[in-house]
């Protein structure tokens, strides 16, 4: 299948670290390691190129009033990518590490970023009811649909997630409010799957329940980061997805799954 790109290794196994596995499991990150590029880059980027070209309305969304914040996000990400020697920037173009040239278009900030970096990007803007999803490039949704979530605050986005109760929602909102631009935070999740596809959107009404202790041939893990933009105050939420066959996990990683309470999706 064209939308299957498997990793050879899992860099972070959050279920083996109690601090990372306990919700919300947020920890500080060195800003120099903010954006990750790994062995699945070429395959994932080819899929991202195709999705943005053929299904752009499904994978890119930006509310009109947050164009300024999206431009600020664009500038921050490009500055970070310029530190990666795998990229070459010249005359309004970027040469990616996989040899593909991408036109740099600040007028289409999220679509352009979606063709440059492996991670999906969500913009969370402060609002009266808490932080709201105001823009995103989401090529690898894990059982949710961007069109259904855009414009919603954090509790509305996580409504179908049983663990995201009022107490957790309060802790997460307090964390968002307290973030400083010089900070970068990270967390990770992991879910077992039988379907290895990366692009798996699903509307809330169609969402099957998640069963604890289930089995799956593949493990999907999202390495997520949070970073506040200094001017707009928006929070940049990145999602770097790893899909790996359970058989390719290390012995310690496989051994830890049984007692982790990991879900199957």
pTM: 0.94
The pLDDT of 91-112, averaged and rounded, is 97
pLDDT tens for residues 181-240? 999 999 999 999 999 999 999 988 875 544 344 468 999 999 999 999 999 999 999 999
pLDDT(173) > 80: yes
Contact 243/196 with Cβ under 8 angstroms?
yes
Q: Is the peptide bond before 24 cis (omega within 30 degrees of 0)?
A: yes
pLDDT for 75 equals 98
Residue-level pLDDT at 164 = 63
pLDDT of 209 reads: 43
| CB neighbour list of residue 109: distance below 8 Å, 6 or more residues apart | 62, 67, 70, 71, 73, 74
């Amino acid at each position: 299948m064209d939308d299957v790109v498997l990793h050879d290794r899992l860099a972070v196994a959050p279920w083996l670290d109690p601090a990372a596995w306990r919700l919300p499991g947020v920890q500080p990150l060195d800003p120099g390691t903010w954006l990750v590029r790994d062995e699945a880059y070429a395959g994932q980027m080819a899929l991202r190129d195709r999705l943005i070209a053929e299904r752009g309305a499904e994978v890119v969304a930006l509310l009109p009033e947050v164009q300024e914040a999206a431009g600020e996000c664009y500038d921050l990400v490009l500055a970070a990518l310029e530190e990666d020697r795998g990229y070459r920037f010249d005359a309004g173009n970027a040469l990616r590490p996989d040899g593909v040239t991408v036109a740099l278009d600040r007028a289409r900030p999220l679509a352009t970023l979606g063709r440059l970096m492996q991670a999906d990007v969500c913009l969370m803007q402060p609002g009266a009811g808490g932080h709201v999803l105001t823009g995103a490039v989401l090529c690898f949704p894990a059982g949710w649909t961007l069109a259904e979530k855009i414009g919603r605050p954090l509790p509305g986005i996580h409504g179908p997630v049983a663990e995201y109760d009022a107490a957790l929602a309060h802790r997460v909102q307090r964390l968002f409010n307290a973030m400083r631009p010089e900070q970068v935070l990270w967390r990770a999740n992991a879910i077992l799957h039988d379907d290895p596809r990366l692009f798996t959107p699903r509307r809330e009404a169609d969402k099957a329940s998640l069963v604890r202790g289930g089995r799956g041939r593949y493990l999907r893990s999202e390495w997520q980061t949070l970073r506040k933009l200094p001017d707009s105050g928006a929070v940049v939420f990145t999602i770097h997805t790893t899909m790996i066959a359970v058989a390719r996990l290390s012995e310690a990683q496989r051994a830890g799954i049984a007692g982790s309470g990991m879900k199957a999706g």
